[in-house]
Amino acid sequence: MAEPTALGIDLGTTLSVAAQVNHAGLPVVLPNAEGSATTPSVVLFDRGSIVVGSIARESLATEPELVVQLVKRNMGSSWSFDYQGISYGAEHISALILRKVLGDAQLLAGPVSQAVVTVPAYFNDPMRAATRSAAELAGIQVLGLLSEPTAAALAFGYERRPTGATGVVVDLGGGTFDVTVMDYDGADLAVRATGGDYYLGGANFDKVLFDFFAEQFAAAHGLNINDPDALSIEECTQISHDWLLRATRAKHDLTSRERTTAALHAAGLLLRVEVRRDMFLARSKPLLDEVSEKIVDVLAAAGVTPKDVDFVLAVGGSTRIPAVRERVHDIFGKPPDMSVSPDEAVALGAALFAAQRQLEQGSALDMDGQARDYLEKLTVTDVAAHTLGISVVDPGENVGNRRIMVPLLPRNTRLPFDTKQAFYTMRPGEQRIMVPILEGEEADPQLCRRIGEVVIDGLPPSRPAHQEVLVRMRLDKDGILRVAAADVATGLAASTMIVHANRQVSPDAADAAVRAAPIE
């Protein structure tokens, strides 16, 4: 009996989308219960129930302190949202969003629980781990995490089937920015280099307009809405979110119009502000410069020039901003291809990848023969988004015991990758060797993220100094990192496996609340 095709879920900063490959072999978006292709990644805590989506987003203007948005920016951090005695982390909020997306998808797709969930290519290990935890909390059987630009490239490649081509995916979403250079060769997709910024997206452009509103209001009425003397916290919060929604609306208007108007209310005062596209462009210049810089950096890392690029794929809602498209055009000398819907491309690609994973695992899928052939042949080769290495003592002269990060697996290394390197102990009589595993681009270990460690214990007390320790690091295509260290003299060894699925914190009240809460 044929199994249901797994879902592809784009867990976005501002919008989330679910897609599935249908019987004809085409990836299609599954509309939510409200009939919309996209579900705002916004959560409203409404006393006994949880509301996710557009209603929650609308509540930002009336009950802002009960609404959570842009939570993806806090993934992997200590951020929390406290409600009714329960402290919800970013993965809990994301799990609520995923529960809504999964539940709505199941209305159309049936009882399917397997899915591929996408993450920004530039997400680091804790962020990916939190995303996986969120999906598992939501009851999703995770077939894998897939980088968002890779997913978009997959959707594009499935439709166009380019061969011997080099493409660039520019993914400027609601909160994150990724650039990826890819090689297409039939059913083989290989990432050459990737880079980005997980704090650059549409929300930054909204803030530009919000700041403009605040300036104009202060100039016209002498009221600074952030002044604690002028407005209470409640008023400030409510007005801020009302204006932020108006800023988002104005930004959308300016994608097709040269000017728009926003009506701003605060403390019984009214101001109608004209917003012009040229003003928005001028104020957004620092953000646009960041976009350009990242694109150029990634092209350099991939070893390609703009002339080598056959097409540029623009995905993410913020690539609709005309100034972003113009920047891309200026860099590559050609307009970005927007033939795949910027809001849906990532989910569509994730759905294809999910089906490919199922076929790889031997699942019997009821699917068109040609599509099955393509997906069975499909290979996706990704790269490490961040450098991985270990912390050791600097061998330089006159540096004391200063530690340095020694990269073993440089960023943009094609996966899977396997490497080993010899290191040496410093002092005689060491019975325990600890190898901290780091992720990051800095030489100073303090500026890198510590993602694990390997400890060799039980070494004999009489060991002299300068003993060889062999460290082996392997990162597979699913992002599973294995690190092993062995003391060569004694043969003693230790290893660790860092899998994004391994959630080390014990289940807490928030976990239970996330699983039990009714979602609207």
Would you call the peptide bond into 335 cis, given omega within 30 degrees of 0 as the criterion? no
218 is a site residue for other proteins (CB under 8 A): yes
Cα 102 from Cα 106, distance rounded (Å): 6
Does residue 79 bind other proteins (CB under 8 A)?
yes
488 is an interface residue for other proteins by CB under 8 A: yes
C-alpha distances in Å from residue 502, one per residue of 126, 178, 247: 11, 26, 40
Q: Interface residues for other proteins in 439-468 (CB under 8 A)?
A: 449-461, 465-468
Least Cβ distance, residue 174 to other proteins (angstroms)? 12
Residue 129 touches other proteins, criterion: CB under 8 A: yes
Q: Is 372 helix (H, G, I), strand (E, B) or coil?
A: helix
Q: Least distance in Å: CB of 244 to other proteins? A: 6
User: Least distance to other proteins from the beta carbon of 433, Å?
Assistant: 4
Distance CA 94, CA 39 (A): 13
Verify binding: residue 233, other proteins, rule CB under 8 A.
yes
The answer to the question of residue 226 lying near other proteins (CB under 8 A) is yes
Single-letter amino acid code for the residue at 227: D
Distance CA 282, CA 269 (A): 28
Interface pick for other proteins out of 486, 510, 514, 519 (rule CB under 8 A): 486
* CB crowding 146-171: b at 16 or more within 10 Å, else e: bbbbbbbbbbbbbebebeeebbbbbb
Q: How far is the CB of 48 from other proteins (least distance, A)?
A: 15
288 binds other proteins (CB under 8 A): no
Min dist. Cβ of residue 125 to other proteins (A): 7
- Backbone CA torsion sign across 7, 11, 12, 17: positive
In angstroms, give the least distance from the CB of 454 to other proteins.
6
Structure-derived torsion over alpha carbons of residues 90, 91, 94, 96, reported in degrees to the nearest 10: -110
Closer CB to other proteins, residue 385 or residue 469? 469
* Binding of other proteins by 494 (CB under 8 A): yes
For other proteins, the binding residues in 354-373 under the rule CB under 8 A are none
DSSP conformational letter for 349:
H
243 touches other proteins (CB under 8 A): yes
Min separation Cβ 302 and other proteins, Å: 26
| Alpha helix stretches (DSSP H) within 138-231 | 148-160, 202-221
- How would you class 370 by CB atoms within 10 Å of its CB: exposed for 0-12, middle for 13-18, buried for 19 or more? exposed
Whether the Cβ atoms of residue 96 and residue 52 lie closer than 8 Å to each other: yes
The residue within the footprint of other proteins, chosen from 13, 14, 22, 74 (CB under 8 A), is: 74
**Residue in the structure block whose two tokens are 């987003």:** 57
Decide if residue 278 touches other proteins (CB under 8 A).
no
Residue 211 in contact with other proteins, rule: CB under 8 A = yes
Q: Are 457 and 432 in contact (CB under 8 A)?
A: yes
CB 72 within 8 A of CB 123: no
395 forms part of the interface with other proteins (CB under 8 A): yes
Q: Is 399 in the site for other proteins (CB under 8 A)?
A: no
Name the one range near other proteins by CB under 8 A: 115-123, 135-143, 146-154, 480-488.
480-488
496 binds other proteins (CB under 8 A): yes
Closest CA to 124 of 300, 317, 388: 388
Among 281, 296, 470, 517, binds other proteins (CB under 8 A): 470
Convert residues 169-208 into a mask of x (bound to other proteins by CB under 8 A) and - (unbound).
----------------------------------x---x-
The region that residue 429 occupies, defined by phi over 0 for left and psi between -120 and 50 for alpha, beta otherwise, is: left
Q: Is 341 in the site for other proteins (CB under 8 A)?
A: no
**Binds other proteins by CB under 8 A, chosen from 27, 40, 53, 76:** 76
How far is residue 244's CA from residue 79's CA, in Å, rounded to a whole number? 21
Nearer to other proteins, 357 or 474 (CB): 474
- Residues contacting residue 213 through CB under 8 Å, at least 6 positions apart: 243, 246, 247, 262, 264, 273
Site membership for other proteins, residue 109 (CB under 8 A): no
Q: How far is the CB of 259 from other proteins (least distance, A)?
A: 9
Under rule CB under 8 A, which residues in 417-436 are in contact with other proteins? 418, 420-427, 429-435
Residue among 32 and 467 whose Cβ is closer to other proteins: 467
Query: 180 or 238, CB closer to other proteins?
Result: 238
Please, which residue, 346 or 454, has the CB nearer to other proteins? Answer: 454
Q: Is 491 in the site for other proteins (CB under 8 A)?
A: yes
Q: How many residues bind other proteins (CB under 8 A)?
A: 117
Smallest gap from residue 366 Cβ to other proteins (A): 25
Candidates 35-43, 59-67, 110-118, 326-334; binding stretch for other proteins (CB under 8 A): 59-67
Q: Is 248 in the site for other proteins (CB under 8 A)?
A: no
Distance of alpha carbon 319 from alpha carbon 344, whole angstroms: 13
Candidate segments 46-54, 293-301, 314-322, 414-422, binder of other proteins by CB under 8 A:
414-422
- Cα dihedral 443, 446, 447, 452, rounded to 10, equals 90
- Is 9 a binder of other proteins (CB under 8 A)? no
DSSP 33-93: TTS-S-EE--EEEETTEEEESHHHHHGGGT-GGGEE--GGGGTTSS-EEEETTEEEEHHHH
The distance of closest approach from Cβ of residue 446 to other proteins in the complex, given in angstroms and rounded to an integer, is 13
> Whats the size of the chain, residue-wise?
520
229 secondary structure, DSSP code: T
